[in-house]
């Protein structure tokens, strides 16, 4: 089977992340606007490719003041760096329906290699639309300081206001026209 292009169904996908706040809880957020291309080789998923672009200004942590701060030069600097991108560079099988996707992540103009764990959720025909759907759960983590996101505040009790580690949590659904 040859490679086929799939389009992401952004209405049935979530681009999520979590960061520890005040060292006691995790704040979760999403990027509401994003797009990408997925090329799947069903016979050998390791030959597949993915590229995704995120609109940094679409960040949503359900708190407008925090979102504004995250868009500022203290963090993403959305005015100068409006896009964040990921492009796969390799895919390897890591078990039954599991893969490790290597790629280049670019944030604030800084590109670093990352590895993401992917679970292939399988394929299904959409009962109302009639097209084929594919699902993937993606997990990983990065250090935000690797991309120049270093703003923080030291707490009087010790520790910092925002953890360096960012957990990545994506649920992706894609469709291939019938």
97 Ramachandran zone, left/alpha/beta (phi>0; psi -120 to 50): left
Q: What is the mean pLDDT of the chain?
A: 94
- Alpha-carbon distance of 110 to 145, in angstroms, equals 11
Match 């500022």 to its residue by tokens: 72
Q: Give the pLDDT score at 178.
A: 57
Contact between 15 and 158 under an 8 Å Cβ cutoff? The reply is no
* Reported pTM: 0.93
Q: Give the pLDDT score at 177.
A: 64
Give the chain's end-to-end CA distance (angstroms, integer). Answer: 16
Q: Please give the domain boundaries of the chain with CATH numbers for all domains.
A: 4-176 (2.40.128.110)
Q: Check whether 129 has a pLDDT greater than 90.
A: no
Q: How much of the chain, in percent, has pLDDT values that exceed 70?
A: 98
């Amino acid at each position: 089977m040859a490679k086929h292009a799939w389009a992401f169904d952004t209405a049935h996908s979530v681009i999520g992340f979590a960061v520890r706040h005040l060292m006691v809880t995790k704040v979760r957020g999403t990027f509401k606007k994003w797009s990408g291309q997925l090329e799947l080789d069903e016979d050998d998923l390791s030959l597949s490719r993915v590229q995704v672009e995120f609109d940094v200004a679409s960040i949503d942590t359900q708190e407008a003041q925090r979102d504004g701060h995250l868009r500022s030069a203290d963090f993403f600097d959305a005015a100068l760096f409006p896009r964040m991108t990921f492009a796969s560079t390799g895919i390897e099988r890591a078990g039954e329906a599991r893969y490790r996707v290597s790629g280049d992540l670019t944030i604030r103009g800084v590109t670093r290699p990352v590895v993401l764990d992917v679970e292939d959720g399988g394929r299904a025909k959409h009962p109302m639309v009639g097209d084929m759907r594919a699902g993937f759960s993606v997990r990983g983590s990065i250090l935000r300081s690797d991309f120049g996101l270093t703003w923080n505040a030291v707490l009087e009790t010790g520790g910092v206001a925002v953890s360096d580690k960012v957990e990545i949590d994506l649920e992706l659904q894609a469709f291939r026209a019938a």
